Amino acid sequence: MAAVTPASATTSASLPLTQFSSSYSSSLSSTSSPFHLKLKTATLGNRCVRCGVRSLENQSGHRSLDFLSNGDPISLINPNLSSSPISMAAASSESGAKCSKRVCLFYSDETRDLAESIVSQSDCIELRSINWKKFDDGFPNLFIQNAQGIRGQHVAFLASFSSPAVIFEQLSVIYALPKLFVSSFTLVLPFFPTGTSERMEDEGDVATAFTLARILSNIPTSRGGPTSLVTFDIHALQERFYFGDTILPCFESGIPLLKSRLQALPDSDNISIAFPDDGAWKRFHKQLQHYPTIVCNKVRMGDKRIVRIKEGDAEGRHVVIVDDLVQSGGTLIECQKVLAAHGAAKISAYVTHGIFPKSSWKRFKLDTKGDPAEGLSYFWITDSCGTTVKEVMNKPPFEVLSLAGTIASALQV
């Protein structure tokens, strides 16, 4: 596999720094997921960005590249050392960092803000543009500007499939870009929709997650080989196998952003993590091992389904409910009530993907009176779902943690 070399680092006094190994897999073999860790120094302090989360299910420790030479899991350094409140926990911009590759980043209308943030994270990434017009019949009329200028360049596209209506136009660009003699192509799709519809329980169920995986697996190969697909906290772990071998999925997570945010809280030593169900526990517990955990589950009582605490103790704790996504918010609210009833002092929530269809985010209020049953202290989401981010920005309890830094690093893989 790849060589492991220690990186040098300078530390700022207040934060622990453990030795990091950096690994770079340059051969795109089918068994390894590209994984890269970089340590950059700048005059403002340290910044460490973690990129690439390996399978969380691995018990046997084969994948030693993920972790340190001394065997400790990676802990994240607080990227933002200033004392200003974090509403966008984006890392500070780089100076003097060496580019492993320069990347031309195209983006869809919905993802413009995130694209601009990504570019501000790195000198190695520049924005490119596309004319997104429509014919009268509603079908797209697209033009990739300066197509000749991307020959021999590494190219990426930041997509957002927020509804079926916008898939076709983005797909047309995604299918066209790899064939323009680019040296590699990466599709960044922070949120993979349909993820919850990924099982056939009855014959006749249509697993739309598989449809989407099929559509993406059909992206043409470019001179750089199979397209890399970067996505965050995909809903079901099995979904990684839904992609054909023509695509290299790179499964990232937003949890490192949460961890660094938690470390900055005044009561960071009183935090417990709650998982609303076993699925969430399977997805995330390994990344959050250092915190005491609480696991909830749904129990059937007659016709109703009631949320109960299966294991763990909430008494007196600041409990952070963690899940990959939120839709109506029903599950989170039920958990919140149960945790409050079991004595939680404060309750917050984190989801990577704040979908909130039909403005369901309005159900979540700020806890101003120390009553966790009525309100949350914080509700963290990432900027994977651009349309929601606009609505909840600057509205407590919501805080947006930006994926820009993580994506910028992922593009260097």
Partner 1 sequence: MSENAANIIMDNKICKDALVSELQKKKVHLFYCLECEELAHKIAAESDHITLQSINWRSFADGFPNLFINNAHEIRGQHVAFLASFSSPAVIFEQISVIYLLPRLFVASFTLVLPFFPTGSFERMEEEGDVATAFTMARIVSNIPISRGGPTSVVIYDIHALQERFYFADQVLPLFETGIPLLTKRLQQLPASEKVIVAFPDDGAWKRFHKLLDQYPTVVCTKVREGDKRIVRLKEGNPAGCHVVIVDDLVQSGGTLIECQKVLAAHGAAKVSAYVTHGVFPKSSWERFTHKNNGSEEAFAYFWITDSCPQTVKALGDKAPFEVLSLAGSIADALQI
Q: Is 206 in the site for partner 1 (CB under 8 A)?
A: yes
- For partner 1, the binding residue among 12, 163, 221, 268 (CB under 8 A) is 163
Q: Which residues pair with 248 in a beta bridge?
A: 228
Q: Is 197 in the site for partner 1 (CB under 8 A)?
A: yes
Tell me the C-alpha distance between 35 and 235, whole Å: 21
- Residue 210 interacting with partner 1 (CB under 8 A): yes
Instruction: Note whether 95 binds partner 1 by CB under 8 A.
Output: no
Binding mask 139-158 for partner 1 (x = CB under 8 A): xxxxxxxxxx----------
Distances (CA, A) of 366 to 257, 261, 332, 337: 21, 18, 14, 14
Q: Strands, E, within 312-368: which ranges?
A: 318-326, 346-354
**Out of 120, 153, 194, 297, which residue is the one contacting partner 1 (CB under 8 A)?**
194
| Neighbouring C-alpha atoms within 13 Å toward the C-beta of 267 | 14
241 binds partner 1 (CB under 8 A): no
Minimum distance from CB of 46 to partner 1 (Å)? 39
Between 16 and 204, CB nearer to partner 1: 204
For the chain, what's the residue count?
413
Nearest to 191 by CA among 165, 237, 228, 158: 158
Parallel, antiparallel or unpaired: strands 130-134 and 140-144: antiparallel
| Residue from 177, 185, 196 nearest 234 by CA | 196
Give whole-number Cα distances, 223 to 173, 179, 280, 312, 325, in Å.
17, 8, 38, 51, 35
Q: Strands 318-326 and 346-354, how do they pair? A: parallel
Give 111 or 217: the residue with its C-beta nearer to partner 1.
217
How many residues belong to the site for partner 1 (CB under 8 A)? 50
Q: Show the binding pattern over residues 317-346: x = contacts partner 1 (CB under 8 A), - = does not.
A: ----------xx------------------
Name the residue nearer to partner 1 (CB basis): 168 or 290.
Answer: 168
Residue 237 makes contact with partner 1 by CB under 8 A: no
Q: Judged by CB under 8 A, does residue 164 bind partner 1?
A: yes
127 touches partner 1 (CB under 8 A): no
From the list 272, 327, 254, 242, the residue with the least C-alpha distance to 76 is: 254
Query: Alpha-carbon distance 284 to 251, whole Å?
Result: 13
Based on the shown chain and the rule CB under 8 A, indicate whether residue 359 belongs to the binding site for partner 1: no
62 within 8 A of 56, measured Cβ to Cβ:
no
In this complex, which beta carbon is closest to partner 1, that of residue 235 or of residue 318?
235
Contacts of 148 (CB under 8 A, 6+ apart): none
Interface with partner 1, residue 281, by CB under 8 A: no
The minimum distance between CB 164 and partner 1, in angstroms, equals 4
- Residue 21 or 217: the one with the smaller Cβ distance to partner 1 is 217
Candidate ranges 37-45, 276-284, 290-298, 355-363; the one touching partner 1 (CB under 8 A): 355-363
Sole window of 5-13, 112-120, 164-172, 312-320 interacting with partner 1 (rule: CB under 8 A): 164-172
**Is the Cβ of residue 139 or residue 341 nearer to partner 1 in the bound state?**
139
Contact 401, 381 (CB under 8 A): yes
**Site residues (CB under 8 A) for partner 1?**
135-148, 162-169, 171-173, 175-176, 180, 193-194, 196-197, 202-208, 210-211, 214-215, 218, 327-328, 355, 357-358, 360
